[in-house]
Structure 1
């Protein structure tokens, strides 16, 4: 005849042991939650950064397309009105309506904006009060990095790299091409390195080195 023996602890968990177990469980759950939150933030940052880069790319293409066709204003003004580090103003029929608009690209904080003014009246004027401003791109950090957005070149570029890009204040009559550099960064703390977009456009109606 066999006897069955049951092996068991005469005592249950002590309060201290229970606290240790609960503490360990909380640590595991907390670590898992921390990893989840960090992963979520990373994914959100990547998506937001990619969206900002794409927006900046489209904005740059808009500048290139429009500046390339810069022409005399409907009141006879020169095709270029202002050429600064963070602001570029020119005239062009950007919407193909047979009217030449005044186009102003400028940086406001970290927003790259575009202002468009239609000609009105007789004699024709470009009333600043009629300017319609839209945002072209966000998270543009050029000014924070002390890096110009716009660079200006004369007709001797690229052969002449001594006087190019032109120094400010820029002689508008000398400008034949414009370089554009956009530095994009959604969160400097998350990604200390900026994403840089560069392009270059020759102004067809001013080109004299054919």
Structure 2
């Protein structure tokens, strides 16, 4: 007699394998490193963008300042009190008389390098006889974060032909015919870009000899 024998298939189910504690720590460590790298990258990008924006602002300040400087110097002439067109000529300061607002009167214009800034002060003549009162001076900050070691005024007499050395300081202001202003700006010396340097120059037209 034949007997039907059923076969029983035994299936062994092993528990699903999860992350061990060590593996979890490794994953967390990798994610931390990646996150730190991304964070540093974002900071670097932000700093570069900020530096570029700062450089553009500095260039704008320099261009505007030198444009104003050249306009003032070209128009310099005898003051309302009869003083010479150039009153003071030093490496860190310039005082001239110039009609800066088109009202026929000559304002006293003072450029000064003070505490890392370039300022421009203007004083209108008042009274009869005319006088220039310090109390009436209007001072405007033109450029900030100035690199003082390379920012300076240079002066030349009527013999200047483009390569002549500037007049020796202290300058005899009566010899001045041509003025050059070099300004360097470095918003943050510890970060790029390097200092931005621009130069503007102009002839005092009322005094020009051979220019």
Report the TM-score, using the length of structure 2 for normalisation.
0.89
1:75 matched to 2:81? The reply is yes
Residue matched to 1:56: 62
Whether contact under 8 Å (1:185, 1:191) holds in the other structure is: no
After TM superposition, where is structure 1 displaced by more than 6 Å over at least 4 residues in a row?
5-9
Inter-CA distance 6–81: structure 2 relative to 1 (3 Å threshold): farther
Count of aligned pairs between the two proteins: 202
Whether contact under 8 Å (1:120, 1:126) holds in the other structure is: yes
The structure with more radius of gyration? 2
Residue matched to 1:123: 129
Residue matched to 1:152: 155
Residue matched to 1:200: 201
Where does the alignment leave 5 or more consecutive residues of structure 1 unmatched?
A: none
Q: Within 5 Å, which residues of 2 pair with 1:133-144?
A: 133-141=139-147, 143=148
Q: CA deviation at 1:182?
A: 1.0
Inter-CA distance 160–186: structure 2 relative to 1 (3 Å threshold): closer
Cα displacement string for residues 75-122 of structure 1 (whole angstroms, at most 9, x for unaligned residues): 111111110111100001101012210000111122111001111112
Structural RMSD (CA): 2.0
Partner Cα separation in structure 1 for residue 179 and residue 22 of structure 2:
73
Whether contact under 8 Å (2:55, 2:193) holds in the other structure is: no
Q: CA deviation at 1:10?
A: 4.8
Residue matched to 1:165: 166
Report the TM-score, using the length of structure 1 for normalisation.
0.89
